[in-house]
Amino acid sequence: MTFFDRLSRRAVATGSLLCVGLDPHLADLSTPTAEAALTYCRNIVAATRPYACAFKPNAAFFEALGAPGVAALGDLISDLEPEIPVILDAKRGDIASTAAAYATACFDVLGAGAVTLHPYLGRDSIAPFLAHQDRGVFVLCRTSNPGAAELQELATETGDPMYVTVATAVRNWDAARCGLVVGATAPGALPAVRRVNPDAWILAPGVGAQGGSLQETVAAAVRPDGLGLLISVSRGIARAPDPARAAAALVAQISAARTSTLVQATALSHGDNTKATAQDQMGDRTKAGFLATDQGQTLADGLLTAGCVRFGSFTLKSGLTSPIYLDLRQLSGDPALLGLAAQAYAARLEGLQFDRLAALPYAGLPIGTAVSLAGQWPLIYPRKQRKAHGTGAAIEGPFKAGETAVVIDDLATRGTSAREALPTLRDAGLHVGDLVVLVDRGSGAQARLAEDGVRLHAVFQLPELLDHWQASGAVSINQATAVRTFLQESV
């Protein structure tokens, strides 16, 4: 498995494209020591680990602290779990034995998964790093610093700027293990690079403190599969009052921009830029077709490993006795899986017309909150019982009569929970016509909800999940057959 295979897997598992930079500036340390630098970075990692797709320590700040600093850098990298990608920001560039020594230092001694490199000396300066088959490189293409244009935008003999020539060359060097560094401060460079190198992972610094636009960066650089881009942020997280909250907010903003970009691209590819057309096409990815994607399979498998699915004999809220029980409350104990589920919800929501989300207590509340963050949609929730004190509210959160709310719940069996909440929402003057769930059990909810004028949208259908789990060997034939029989009889 290459570095970029692991990076893709991590991006899917976390639902994140955020790369957290680890730059221990002396001004930020309690003392100018390697120990203080290591503690500082460890604190950032601890706060942001649930939200980071990758981490990017900057070698210079550690090297400036001498041998103890280099040792601290190695300790920092070794702290991280093997599945978390580490990109060493070292910007090396040399040839022959010198480059080989640099590669050994970066990969074998320090343990980085990838490293940033200068392309100025050509392919032979990159080759020693590519000799490490399971590692990757990010080649400097169009950097984010103010003086980058001085050389990187010089016209070459083809008429293209230098950075386009670099992106084209890198594609031919080793497309599977070469990424590119393209700064968010040069928005015109991102689409140009993506055109000549459509598959490469792009590391994009410059969002936030340097003034790069997150929305423009995502729109220009994300691949059609929703991957291929890392938004690198250092100071905006490290110097925030609450780094965890800052990282979570960035992930939500990136996710919203990614969802919007993919929906618009889908619509345009079919000759129609309306949201309705986009939603029709996204449905192919978030219903049955969603299981054909890496994201869908990771989410489906995660439901089993997180204990969200149990087999036995269970009495459901509908009164039915079921051989399977879906407990999606367990999602709240796995932030990465919850984030991935939120992304799937967000894709189903794109194209629906609504002003805010209405999450149903209780299982729908953490899910609704995660979806709200992923799509930056405002959230309300109807109480099971009106408050007997204070405001006496039946619905928590701000809204106005006449607005449209889309209901969010964990799953649908007979649609009972949603039907019970409808009077509270509609009596308050809200229009409700759509319910989005992670799993439709296929036990008649769609028809019953239609009687109340509500359309059911599900990320997964339970029968297709059974097919996937049985095919992978995670569920036995007897278990799957018992559930299928129950579904047929209950309908």
Between 98 and 293, whose confidence is greater?
98
What whole-number distance in Å separates Cα of residue 171 and Cα of residue 180?
Answer: 10
- Tell me the three-class secondary structure of 148-165, residue by residue: HHHHHCCECCCCCEHHHH
Indicate if 320 and 182 belong to the same structural domain.
Answer: no
Q: HSE-up of 361 (CA within 13 Å, CB side)?
A: 12
Q: Are 119 and 126 in contact (CB under 8 A)?
A: yes
**Tens digits of per-residue pLDDT, 152-190?**
989 988 888 999 999 999 998 987 889 999 999 887 899
Q: Are 243 and 48 in contact (CB under 8 A)?
A: yes
Q: Are 389 and 382 in contact (CB under 8 A)?
A: no
Closest by alpha carbon to 250, among 278, 220, 221, 209?
209
Residue with tokens 């503690």, as numbered in its chain: 39
Q: How many CB atoms lie within 10 A of CB 14?
A: 24
What whole-number distance in Å separates Cα of residue 424 and Cα of residue 360?
Answer: 11
Indicate if 231 and 352 belong to the same structural domain.
Answer: no
Instruction: State the pLDDT at residue 268.
Output: 55
Q: Considering the domain boundaries, does residue 290 fall inside one?
A: yes
Indicate if 333 and 199 belong to the same structural domain.
Answer: no
Indicate if 287 and 196 belong to the same structural domain.
Answer: no
Helix (H, G, I), strand (E, B) or coil at 174: helix
273 pLDDT exceeds 50? Answer: no
- What CATH number is given to the structural domain containing 443? 3.40.50.2020
What residues contact residue 259 under an 8 Å CB cut-off, 6+ apart? 343, 346, 347, 350, 374, 375
What whole-number distance in Å separates Cα of residue 49 and Cα of residue 281?
Answer: 33
Residue with tokens 């300066």, as numbered in its chain: 125
Helix (H, G, I), strand (E, B) or coil at 411: strand
What whole-number distance in Å separates Cα of residue 397 and Cα of residue 382?
Answer: 9
What whole-number distance in Å separates Cα of residue 419 and Cα of residue 454?
Answer: 9
Q: Are 44 and 238 in contact (CB under 8 A)?
A: yes
**Tens digits of per-residue pLDDT, 82-135?**
889 999 999 999 998 999 999 999 999 999 999 999 999 999 999 999 999 999
Indicate if 57 and 99 belong to the same structural domain.
Answer: yes
- Amino acid sitting at position 200: A
Mean per-residue pLDDT, 330-350: 87
Indicate if 198 and 299 belong to the same structural domain.
Answer: no
Indicate if 249 and 337 belong to the same structural domain.
Answer: no
Closest by alpha carbon to 393, among 436, 427, 348?
427
Indicate if 205 and 91 belong to the same structural domain.
Answer: yes
Residue range of the domain that includes 8: 3-267
How many structural domains is the chain composed of? 2
What whole-number distance in Å separates Cα of residue 148 and Cα of residue 86?
Answer: 25
Q: Is the pTM of this model over 0.75?
A: no
60 pLDDT exceeds 50? Answer: yes
Q: What DSSP string runs through 315-355?
A: E-TTS-EEEEEE-GGGGGG-HHHHHHHHHHHHHHHTT---S
Instruction: State the pLDDT at residue 390.
Output: 60
Confidence of residue 16 (pLDDT cuts 50, 70, 90): confident
- Amino acid sitting at position 395: I
Q: Considering the domain boundaries, does residue 341 fall inside one?
A: yes
Q: Considering the domain boundaries, does residue 103 fall inside one?
A: yes
245 pLDDT exceeds 50? Answer: yes
296 pLDDT exceeds 90? Answer: no
Instruction: State the pLDDT at residue 387.
Output: 60
Q: What DSSP string runs through 247-293?
A: HHHHHHHHHHHHHHHHHHHHHHHTT---HHHHHHHHHHHHSGGGGGS
Indicate if 259 and 323 belong to the same structural domain.
Answer: no
- What CATH number is given to the structural domain containing 90? 3.20.20.70
- Please give the share of the chain, as a percent, with pLDDT higher than 70: 92
Q: Considering the domain boundaries, does residue 274 fall inside one?
A: no
Indicate if 383 and 412 belong to the same structural domain.
Answer: yes
Looking at the annotation, which residues are catalytic?
Answer: 91
Indicate if 314 and 176 belong to the same structural domain.
Answer: no
Mean pLDDT of the chain: 87
Q: Considering the domain boundaries, does residue 240 fall inside one?
A: yes
Indicate if 215 and 314 belong to the same structural domain.
Answer: no
- Amino acid sitting at position 127: A
Q: How many residues does the chain have?
A: 491
Of 220, 239, 267, the one marking the end of a domain is: 267
